[in-house]
Amino acid sequence: MSAYLDHASTTALRPEALEALVAGSARGAGNPSSLHSAGRRARVAVEESREALAAALGARPGEVVWTSGGTESDNLALQGLLRARRAADPARRRVLLAATEHHAVLDCVRWLEAHEGALVTWLPVDGTGCLDPDALEAALRHPDDVALVSLMWANNEVGTVQPVARAAELAHAAGVPLHTDAVQAVGSLPVDFAASGADLLSLSAHKFGGPVGTGALLVRRGTTLVPLVHGGGQELGVRSGTLDATGARATAAALTAALAHRPEEAARLAALRDRLLAGLLQVPGATLRGAPPGPQRLPGNAHVTFEGCEGDSLTYLLDAAGVECSTGSACQAGVPRPSHVLLAMGLSAAEAAGALRFSLGWDSTADDVDTALAAIGPAVERARRATGSRSARARRRVRPALGAGVSR
């Protein structure tokens, strides 16, 4: 039986969410925009779920916009807000963010930079991946051209928790709205939208035990967005399209379950994580990346680099031993390049190459940790031998080429 330690990419459907999905599917068809009985039942499901989600996250029901997940929420927030801000003041073209953001944010902003004339100011992070608020404050000293700030609540790779409330305070003092990608935080950390000061917050259901393909963007009252999708005018005209009533109910059920005993569950996961880290760091050349265990790190995140290894090789070797983990963001899986997060934290490409992310979730057990610890030593040893063999072969290929064409 395998040990699944990749909950940061997606986690198993919670029983409460599965029950909601089955019950919603059994009720039959019903478009929430229709006026007949089935439509009204679907509308009730959507609005009750909206109220539950809002109550769980410190928001008003009218601030919840249903989406297909984190990527759509990030794109709607960034593109919609930038366009709205530029429509009101064409000078507002600048976006402030750190290079450690998720690719759903980075790639969206780079597209805006290439196609819509956005300007990007990259904010520095320290060796743990945490934003320096002083750097943000300095970047906001002349805010006349700043459209928005985006800062993820917790990093998806190294688990570092960011100072979102402080960043929002600084942004608002300069008259600038702030978006936060809270995809990794919701369900794992105490998230209060109103208290955070953020103007927009992205979340995705499958990170806390809900269904894939459902999420939300929280939009603070008074924040204007230009919609990306035009059609039926659903969600107050911000996000058109037929609403998934069953998905909404399953999302609300999963979040309610995730938060019912969140402090106790966070402590349980942190204890498992710490035991996992203690064993991983016994491997020679292993180094913890991100914030130290504690309140500034996600409770289920263990991110370690192994000197002299390649993360992809380690992933395959561990998978063969029954341990499922990743090198970082699953959205970039299969692309052999160093983590942009680790590079932004100051690591070299060689140091970043041996990265592994182990992430625990609601159904993780001590057996999962034991399985990983039993497999990691042999996997690292084999990966280092493979890396050394490849390096030796590369050196042998280079030597003849260096002497080609030289008379003796």
Q: Is 4 helix (H, G, I), strand (E, B) or coil?
A: strand
**Residue 112: per-residue pLDDT:** 98
Same domain, 345 and 326: yes
DSSP conformation class of 75: H
Q: What percent of the chain has pLDDT over 70?
A: 93
> Rounded to an integer, what distance in angstroms lies between the CA atom of residue 141 and that of residue 126?
21
Same domain, 64 and 213: yes
* Number of residues written out for the chain: 408
H or E, element range at 248: helix 245-260
Q: Which residue has the higher pLDDT, 170 or 392?
A: 170
Task: For residue 403, count CB atoms less than 10 angstroms from its CB and return exposed for 0-12, middle for 13-18, buried for 19 or more.
Answer: exposed
H or E, element range at 384: helix 366-403
Same domain, 318 and 343: yes
Question: Which of 220, 241, 259 is at the close of a domain?
Answer: 259
Same domain, 242 and 290: no
Same domain, 294 and 210: no
Please check whether residue 127 lies inside any domain of the structure: yes
Same domain, 246 and 271: no
Helices (runs of H) and strands (runs of E) counted in the chain: 13, 12
> Rounded to an integer, what distance in angstroms lies between the CA atom of residue 325 and that of residue 91?
45
Same domain, 221 and 265: no
Same domain, 266 and 373: yes
Same domain, 298 and 231: no
Alpha helices in 261-365 (DSSP H): 262-280, 311-320, 340-344, 349-353
Split at pLDDT 50, 70, 90, the class of 381 is very high
Burial 256-293 (b: 16+ CB within 10 A, else e): bbbbeebeebbebbbebbeebbebbeebeebbbbbbeb
300: amino acid identity, one letter: G
Taking residues 309-318, what's their average pLDDT?
95
Average pLDDT, the chain: 93
Please check whether residue 183 lies inside any domain of the structure: yes
**Residue 280: per-residue pLDDT:** 98
Count CA within 13 A, CB hemisphere, residue 303: 27
- The catalytic site residues sit at 331
Per residue in 240-278, pLDDT (tens digit) is 999 999 999 999 999 999 999 999 999 999 999 999 999
CATH label of the domain that carries residue 22: 3.40.640.10
**Residue 374: per-residue pLDDT:** 98
Same domain, 219 and 169: yes
Instruction: Show the domain range for 266.
Output: 3-8+261-397
Please check whether residue 287 lies inside any domain of the structure: yes
Q: Is the pLDDT of residue 88 over 60?
A: yes
Please check whether residue 406 lies inside any domain of the structure: no
Please check whether residue 312 lies inside any domain of the structure: yes
Please check whether residue 30 lies inside any domain of the structure: yes
**Residue 395: per-residue pLDDT:** 54
What is the number of domains present in the chain?
2
Same domain, 351 and 265: yes
Task: For residue 90, count CB atoms less than 10 angstroms from its CB and return exposed for 0-12, middle for 13-18, buried for 19 or more.
Answer: exposed
Contacts of 389 (CB under 8 A, 6+ apart): none
Task: For residue 122, count CB atoms less than 10 angstroms from its CB and return exposed for 0-12, middle for 13-18, buried for 19 or more.
Answer: middle
CA distances from 300 to 1, 184, 248, 266, 316 (A): 21, 10, 26, 8, 22
Taking residues 367-396, what's their average pLDDT?
84
Question: Which of 203, 226, 259 is at the close of a domain?
Answer: 259
Contacts of 101 (CB under 8 A, 6+ apart): 150, 151, 152, 181
Split at pLDDT 50, 70, 90, the class of 172 is very high
Please check whether residue 251 lies inside any domain of the structure: yes
Please check whether residue 407 lies inside any domain of the structure: no
Question: Which of 199, 224, 259 is at the close of a domain?
Answer: 259
> Rounded to an integer, what distance in angstroms lies between the CA atom of residue 326 and that of residue 239?
33
Per residue in 3-41, pLDDT (tens digit) is 999 999 999 999 999 999 999 888 777 889 889 998 999
- The residues facing 288 across adjacent strands are 304
Per residue in 61-77, pLDDT (tens digit) is 999 999 999 999 999 99
Same domain, 222 and 138: yes
Split at pLDDT 50, 70, 90, the class of 407 is very low
CATH label of the domain that carries residue 273: 3.90.1150.10
> Rounded to an integer, what distance in angstroms lies between the CA atom of residue 190 and that of residue 186?
7
